[in-house]
């Protein structure tokens, strides 16, 4: 609680209080938590902006709790407060915790059996290795990354237009995490894959990161639209990779961090040259060569037919384009009408944006209906002729939602007074925030494709330089946050002075250096964390135990990690768990998103048509269509981010809506029915066996004696009420288990 009070009363890291009471609260809380540690808010303003150094692993009086160096850092802080770690969690609890953490799914009864029967000292390590190699690891941790980069498959705003190839970026993230590509390469591919790995289809798809901004794609003021896109990309880059609120310097110098408005626009200049590309083939050079060769054969055979079809629609197209152009201001029309060879880079960007809108507005089907009857008949005849050549047409290759630079010359970037695109001031060049000085070797030369400025490559190289003070710290902190429910820096998107001070800065630095020393492998960091004694602690707290009572006095918020935190699952994991337990989960990965059934009452404007195949509707939740203006109700109820802004840490609420949804939604009821059918098939008439199977599948443990007695009485009473059969009674029991707190929380 002290942190909230502190942040409410502090304007800068100089700790200017709004009143004396606030100052007292802050000083008392800070003194108690950081006593004798040498760390704390006083030097937080400098700490994250210096290159991370490999901290010495602390010496301890009692090393019995140490499984790896992480534990030494945690135990040292506890030792200073006269505390120690909690007991280790039991094996079933630990199995459920780590399985959800690494895959987003509960352990199956068979997985529980195999782990519990393995009594070797290496059993837990083998479990972790298996989970890290599961394809579902990338799904689980892909969701966390997609929150940060505000992934969605629609534009947002009023139209909320579908982005048909956005799913390829989601799939790229899953593959990259499953393949454990270095986080440095992960950054470079997303920021500049088209420049650095031009022949790698995945690297091209990765640049879809720069296309995830909300966008009013039919906006008339394209100069303003371009600036809004650049502002969004600049802010998200600062949050995602730097853990800094760069967007606060858009209109003026940052009020708290040493980020000048000039720094903001110098960072923005790296992105100023890019243009949207929806015509780039996500294929290898050989695949593209074969495709183009085959396409050339079809093109030659059908050129006359297509030319005639285009001629029939030419007048309608001219009229459509002419009318649409009148919706743009004269400066935009001039950019579009100017010969391409005479355009400046900025004019070319505006012209391309204009062309995209004109193409979007022209509907060939509608234009055909405006032709004379004779011309309509001829057009239909030509369409039939064109289809007869389909045998020559190559199979389509995947198309990336990507970016490239408009040319080898970049548009000029100006500092905008008040952040307003109408008020350009001094021109600025690409550059890095001065408080993050990194050696110039980050700007190393590289071979670049034609028509590229290389600016994004320079930015990517700067971010992944080993001496960069924030990149490794920020991502390691994100990993820690999702394993413990709270980051070492508890504000994952804000390492600045308005963010929370680190609880264990030396540990975060040690982990950051470990990441870089192990080829930026995130799986290595995961294993280090989840095999630590710190992670393996029990979440049970007993106020009657003297050490627990003292810990509750000293650190009621558990910032020093003297016990594991109980955490609620996200809506996606809750839905996936219900589908897995009930036997309905379709574990197919990748590809276009699914569209499950929607409840009544959803706005028809944004609602989708459910997939025809029920099996397709039951894929993992990461593959549910991500619409900005119509969030899937189960996810929305359980605090899904709004997908317009970067989310480093989801809020966790407890609301009546959540309970009502779990009780009344078709998803819960149908999954309960499917699960009951599955349990009856497996256990037959043996109710005790059925209950054992149910508890293991849903809660990862055996039922207690009292639970068995109560459940047997429930089944008997329910099956005798209103002539209901046993299947219905079991379905009610399954429904009740889905609604247990224990089902949606992990200990």
Q: Using one digit for the tens of pLDDT, what is the confidence trace for 564-592?
A: 999 999 999 999 999 999 999 999 999 99
Residue 450's pLDDT band, with cuts at 50, 70 and 90, is low
Say yes or no to pLDDT of 36 above 60. Answer: no
619 bridge partner residues: 586
Helix axes 183-196, 455-463, angle to 10 degrees: 170
What does each C-alpha distance from 254 to 17, 261, 263, 491, 498 come to in angstroms? Answer: 19, 7, 10, 18, 11
> What is residue 121's predicted lDDT score, i.e. its pLDDT?
94
Domain boundaries in the chain?
A: 1-34, 39-133+478-566, 181-279+402-463, 285-397, 664-746
Residue 659 CA, chain-centre distance (Å), reads 26
pLDDT value of position 451: 82
> Cα(728)–Cα(117) distance, rounded to whole angstroms?
34
Per-residue pLDDT at 3 exceeds 50: no
Per-residue confidence (pLDDT) for residue 18, from 0 to 100: 34
- How far, in Å, CA of 634 to CA of 617, rounded? 14
Give yes or no for residue 66 having a pLDDT over 80: yes
User: Does the pLDDT at position 515 exceed 70?
Assistant: yes
Task: Using pLDDT thresholds of 50, 70 and 90, give the confidence band for residue 446.
Answer: low
In our burial notation (b when 16+ CB lie closer than 10 A, e otherwise), range 36-57 reads ebebbbeebbebbbebbeebeb
pLDDT in tens, 270-312: 999 999 999 999 999 999 999 999 999 999 999 999 999 999 9
CB neighbour class for 33 (10 Å; exposed up to 12, middle 13-18, buried from 19): buried
Averaged pLDDT, 198-218: 96
pLDDT reading at 472 higher than 60: yes
Tell me the β-bridge partners of 567: 746
pTM: 0.92
709-727 pLDDT, tens digit per residue, is: 999 999 988 777 655 688 8
Report pLDDT digits (tens) over 620-670: 999 999 999 999 999 999 999 999 999 999 999 999 999 999 999 999 999
Q: Which two tokens stand for residue 339?
A: 């010969």
The rounded distance, in Å, linking the Cα atoms of 600 and 394 is 43
Which residues fall within 8 angstroms of residue 531, CB to CB, at 6 or more apart?
67, 68, 124, 125, 128
Tell me the pLDDT tens digit for each residue of 10-29. 333 223 333 333 333 333 33
C-alpha 48/C-alpha 493 separation (Å) is 13
Q: What is the mean pLDDT of residues 531-560?
A: 96
DSSP bridge pairs for 280: 400
Would you place residue 6 in the very low, low, confident or very high pLDDT band (cuts 50, 70, 90)?
very low
Q: What is the pLDDT of residues 160-187, one digit of tens each?
A: 999 999 999 999 999 999 999 999 999 9
For residue 275, the number of C-alpha atoms closer than 13 Å in the C-beta half-sphere is 27
Question: What pLDDT score was predicted for residue 182?
Answer: 98
Ramachandran region, residue 595 (left: φ > 0; alpha: ψ -120 to 50; beta: rest): beta
Q: Which helix (H) or strand (E) holds 126?
A: helix 123-132
Across the chain, what does the average pLDDT equal? 91
Gap between the Cα atoms of 504 and 473, Å rounded = 12
Rounded to an integer, what distance in angstroms lies between the CA atom of residue 40 and that of residue 3? Answer: 12
What is the per-residue pLDDT across 128-153, written as a single tens digit (0 to 9) for each? 999 999 999 999 999 999 999 999 99
- What distance in Å separates the CA atoms of residue 47 and residue 25, rounded to the nearest whole number? 23
pLDDT at 447: 58
Residue 436: per-residue pLDDT:
86
Q: What is the rounded CA–CA span in Å between residue 322 and residue 317?
A: 8
């Amino acid at each position: 609680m002290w942190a909230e009070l502190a942040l409410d009363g502090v304007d800068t890291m100089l700790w200017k209080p709004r009143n004396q009471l606030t100052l007292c609260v802050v000083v008392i809380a800070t003194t108690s938590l950081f006593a004798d540690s040498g760390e704390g808010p006083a030097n937080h303003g400098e700490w994250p902006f210096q290159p991370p150094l490999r901290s010495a692993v602390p010496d301890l009086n009692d090393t019995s709790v140490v499984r790896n160096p992480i534990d030494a850092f945690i135990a040292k802080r506890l030792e200073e407060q006269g505390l120690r770690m909690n007991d280790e969690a039991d094996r079933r609890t630990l199995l459920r915790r780590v399985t959800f953490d690494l895959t987003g799914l509960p352990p199956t009864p068979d997985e529980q059996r195999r782990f519990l029967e393995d009594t070797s000292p290496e059993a837990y390590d083998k479990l972790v290795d298996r989970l890290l190699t599961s394809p579902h690891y990338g799904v689980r941790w892909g969701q966390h990354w997609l929150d940060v980069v505000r992934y969605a498959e629609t534009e947002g705003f009023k139209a909320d237009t579908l982005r048909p190839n956005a799913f390829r970026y989601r799939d790229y993230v899953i593959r990259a995490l499953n393949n454990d590509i270095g986080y440095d390469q992960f950054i470079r591919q997303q920021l500049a894959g088209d420049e650095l790995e031009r022949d790698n289809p995945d690297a091209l798809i990765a640049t879809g990161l720069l296309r995830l901004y909300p966008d009013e794609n039919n906006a008339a003021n394209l100069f303003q639209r371009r600036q809004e896109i650049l502002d969004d990309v600049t802010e998200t880059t600062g949050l995602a990779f730097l853990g800094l609120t760069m967007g606060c310097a858009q209109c003026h110098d940052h009020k708290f961090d040493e980020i000048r408005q000039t720094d903001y626009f110098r960072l923005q200049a790296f992105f100023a040259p890019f243009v949207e590309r929806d015509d780039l083939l996500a294929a290898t050079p050989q695949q593209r060569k074969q495709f183009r060769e085959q396409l050339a054969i079809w093109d030659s055979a059908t050129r006359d037919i297509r030319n005639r079809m285009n001629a029939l629609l030419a007048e309608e197209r001219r009229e459509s384009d002419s009318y649409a152009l009148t919706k743009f201001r004269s400066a935009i029309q001039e950019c579009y009408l100017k010969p391409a060879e005479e355009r400046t880079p900025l004019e070319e960007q505006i012209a391309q944006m204009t062309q995209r809108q004109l193409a979007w507005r022209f509907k060939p089907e509608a234009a055909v209906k405006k032709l004379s009857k004779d011309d309509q008949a001829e057009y239909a005849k030509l369409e039939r002729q064109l289809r007869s050549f389909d045998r020559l047409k190559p199979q389509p290759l995947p198309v990336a939602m990507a970016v490239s630079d408009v040319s080898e010359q970049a548009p000029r970037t100006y500092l905008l007074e008040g952040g307003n695109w109408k008020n350009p001031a001094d021109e600025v060049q690409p550059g890095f925030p001065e408080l993050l000085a990194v050696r110039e070797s980050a700007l190393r030369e590289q071979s670049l494709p034609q028509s590229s400025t290389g600016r994004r490559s320079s930015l990517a190289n700067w971010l992944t330089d080993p001496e960069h003070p924030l990149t490794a710290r920020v991502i390691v902190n994100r990993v820690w946050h999702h394993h413990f429910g709270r980051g070492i820096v508890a504000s994952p998107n804000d390492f600045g002075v308005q963010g929370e001070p680190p609880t264990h800065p030396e540990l975060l630095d040690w982990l950051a250096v470990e990441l870089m020393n192990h080829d930026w492998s995130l799986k290595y960091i995961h294993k280090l964390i989840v095999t630590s004694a710190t992670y393996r602690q029990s979440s049970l707290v007993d106020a009657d135990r003297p050490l627990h009572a003292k810990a509750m006095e000293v650190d009621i918020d558990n910032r020093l990690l003297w016990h594991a935190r109980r955490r609620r699952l996200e809506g996606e994991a809750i839905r996936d768990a219900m589908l897995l337990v009930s036997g309905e989960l379709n574990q197919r990965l990748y590809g276009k998103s699914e569209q499950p059934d929607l409840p009544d009452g959803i706005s028809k404007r944004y609602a989708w048509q459910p997939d025809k195949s029920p099996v397709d509707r039951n894929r993992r939740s990461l593959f549910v269509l991500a619409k900005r203006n119509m969030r899937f109700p189960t996810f929305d109820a359980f605090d899904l981010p709004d997908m317009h802004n970067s989310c480093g840490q989801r809020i966790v609420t407890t609301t009546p809506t959540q309970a009502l949804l779990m009780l009344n939604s078709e998803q819960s009821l149908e999954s309960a029915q499917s699960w009951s059918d599955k349990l009856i098939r497996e256990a037959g008439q043996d109710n005790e066996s059925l209950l054992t199977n149910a508890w293991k599948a849903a809660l990862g443990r055996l039922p207690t004696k009292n639970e068995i007695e109560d459940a047997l009485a429930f089944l008997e009473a329910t099956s005798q009420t209103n002539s209901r059969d046993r299947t219905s009674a079991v379905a009610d029991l399954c429904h009740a288990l889905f609604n247990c707190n224990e089902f949606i929380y992990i200990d």
